[in-house]
Structure 1
């Protein structure tokens, strides 16, 4: 065996052993994303802040009764795994706040007494808590004049175009922060957010109740309301709630203002959350994703509700990143493979050396 042959053989074997290192480093970067609007506060975040076990407002009590407590410990996961921009096609009318997820059906209760924060026309700084940060795009819609909160929210209740859009906004203290100009409204309204991931078809949705000026309990088109509309879906909550979620609010008086969950509340509830942050794209049902799942095409029909005219799909926008677990996972995997590669290299070198001696 020539010297060149003896050199190349161990090198090739070592390269074959080391090749998986690049793969494990790539595969160990999880696609992770969760969060919810905190200014203006979303319904799910407000009810979590009140406490899933003992909410204070009538609306949150009704929502927990309809969905169970677990939905609110999982406050940052109102999502569709394979949305791919087809939001209007995939989410039926009356289920916008839950994004069509039975788990969060309490958020769809048509009530005029959801805790609502003050809002005014003009420039506003929005905040969205990103509990598993990544890059993506935000779109905010507001309800049309004449919105009646005592009726189930439909796509046609929203203004056709978003009043605020942001791509890859910066973060401050764990919040995505971006600006927009709020249109002129009066009375009770709702701001609907869509957060579309840029590396994945997954998207997140929130409903935030707001009041422009005086809270008349029913928006411009409201009539004082009954404060509740029974859900058409059976309760599937796996927490303590078992009621129908109709509540007792009258909608005739201003509701209390919502509060966003504090960092301490988020930390305290993390142990009760069933949300998995590191497994999107695998076959674990907890992630709402499946390997190789086909993505809906922009022209696919709605499963329960036709898409409104003008609905469009959003493409990939940017690159995502991993989370704090990424380096340790990558290092552990790389280390194990490095040991195996070293053994292969040593064995190949011994064989090459022995063969060379015999050939002399």
Structure 2
């Protein structure tokens, strides 16, 4: 009897672990070039980030941006409260988020790292408008309305690391945020990553 109860307990524990490991909380991908806020937290460049430091790949929210998707002010966290630190215009503890130096109008390679390689609709990249308010969390109104770079992916599955190269928008200077959106073909979600840059 005791052996049967032990076996049942192990079975339930294993099922629970499998359920957790296949759920949305385990996440699936992030950008590390230009480096995203979640990757800065994960690699220890920025500290005090909370849960995102262990789950940079988990910034997953509804797809359809900008018509739908995360609410304004919650875009960088994909609307997930446990990753709210990513929405702040300043890093945890204060001060500016580290930036990547880029040249307006130049060719740029964007790189994603994937822990689960979902079939993909596309990758889109948006950038903040000239004169945007960088003391406030990111909103749709702060972004240029159209993506400056789109990579169709035709429901294919990406490799574990994916790079693609496109042209940055011209006429940009100073601090901006690039929002990368990875839209999944076979779920209702997308993954979001905010990268602070200086043109």
Runs (4+) of structure 1 exceeding 4 A deviation are 30-33, 169-172
Give the match for residue 85 of structure 2: 106
Larger-gyration structure (1/2): 1
Give the number of the structure with larger relative contact order, counting CA–CA contacts within 8 Å between residues 6 or more apart.
1
Is the Cα–Cα contact under 8 Å of residues 32 and 111 in structure 2 kept in the other structure?
A: yes
Higher strand share: 2
Deviation at 1:162, TM superposition (A): 0.4
Q: Does 1:128 align with 2:112?
A: yes
Q: Does 1:189 align with 2:168?
A: no
Give the match for residue 305 of structure 1: none
TM-score by length of structure 2 reads 0.76
Give the match for residue 330 of structure 1: none
The separation in 2 between residues aligned to 1:166 and 1:147, in whole angstroms, is: 26
Higher helix share: 1
TM-score by length of structure 1 reads 0.43
Q: Does 1:75 align with 2:59?
A: no
Alignment of 1:159-178 (within 5 A): 159-168=144-153, 174-178=160-164
The alignment yields a C-alpha RMSD, in angstroms, of 2.3
The separation in 1 between residues aligned to 2:167 and 2:148, in whole angstroms, is: 7
Deviations along 1:150-181, whole A, 9 cap, x unmatched?
12211110011101111228867x32111211
Give the match for residue 207 of structure 1: 194
Deviation at 1:45, TM superposition (A): 0.8
Q: Does 1:96 align with 2:96?
A: no
Q: Which runs of 5+ in 2 are unaligned?
A: 1-21
Deviation at 1:90, TM superposition (A): 3.7
